[in-house]
Amino acid sequence: MRSGGRLFTWTMRVGVAFVLVARSVAGDWPMWRADAARSAVSPDPLPLDLHRHWSRSFEPPRPAWPASQPKIRFDESYEPIVADGLVFVGSMVSDRLSAFDLKTGEERWRFYADGPIRFAPVVWRHRLFFGSDDGFLYALDARKGQLLWKQRGGPDGRRVLGNERLISTWPVRGAPVLYEETDGTATLYYGAGIWPFMGIFLHAVDPETGRPRWRNSGSGSIFVLQQHSSPAFAGVAPQGYLTVGGNWLLVSGGADGSGRL
C-alpha cells in the first residue's frame, strides 16, 4: 500500500476523517510512512471495496511555519498511525495525543504534553513515542496512555516565545524514528533544537528505558558555507522526520533540505 493509498483519506482541510479500508483490517502502520526508511509501502493489499466505517474531526491545523516556507510545512495536516488495534493522532493545536479504537472510532485515551505535537508518533512493542515543542521526548504505554518515561532533548528547561506561546528553546522537531536490527535490538533516534547557534542535540536512546546510546551535540557548529554564500558556524537544524537508510541516519534540516550524519 503506497502513500497514495493509505489506510486513511483526508476529506477536510480543517479536520480529519478516517476511512478504514476493509472489515478485516490490514497490518500496522506504526510510524509516518510505515517504517524507518519511510518507504510508504505495506505488504498488505488494498481491497477493491473501500467504504467508510467512522470519522473524527479536529481543530484546524496551525503549522509552525508560514506558507511562504513550503519546504518546512511539515505539520500542515494531522498524520495518524495505526498499531495494536488503535489509531494514534497528535495535535499541534491542543498538545494532545489521542488513541481511537480502529474498528469503532471510540476514543480510548488521551494524553497532554506541554507543547504542540507536530509529528506522527512511533509505536513499537506496545510503546508509543513522540516529541513536542515543550522540548521532551515522551514514551507512553500504547494501550493505556500512561507515561513510561520522558527525556529532555536540550540541556535545560529554558523557554522562549514561539508561535505565540512559550516553548522550549530546544523543541523536539527532529521527529523520532525507530530502527530495529535483525537480532531484535532497537534504537530510537530524535533531534532537539532548531537554531544551530543555540545548540543542536541528536539522540540515540534505548526505546525500553530511555537510556542514551549516544548523543551528538556538535553537528550544529560545523564551519560551512551557507546558502547565501556566507561562511559560518552552522550545520544541520533538525526539522522534519528522521529516517534510517542502511548505516545512515538522515536528518531533515530546516529549510535547506536534508542533512546526513
Q: Which domains does the chain have, with CATH numbers?
A: 3-260 (2.40.128.630)
Mean pLDDT of 186-203: 94
Q: Worst-scoring range by mean pLDDT, 88-102, 125-139, 143-157, 207-221?
A: 207-221
Q: Is the pTM of this model over 0.85?
A: yes
Task: For the chain, give the percent of residues with pLDDT over 90.
Answer: 68
String of DSSP letters for the chain? --GGG-S-----SSS-------SS----B-STTSSTT-----SSPPPS----------PPP--SS-TT-GGG-TTSS---EEETTEEEEE-TTT-EEEEEETTT--EEEEEE-SS---S--EEETTEEEEE-TTSEEEEEETTT--EEEEEESSSS--EEEETTEEEESS---EEEEEEE-TTS-EEEEEEE-S-GGG--EEEEE-TTT--EEEEE-SGGGEEEE-TTS-EEEE---B-EE-EEETTEEEEEBGGG-EEE-
| pLDDT tens, residue by residue, 152-184 | 999 999 999 999 999 999 999 999 999 999 998
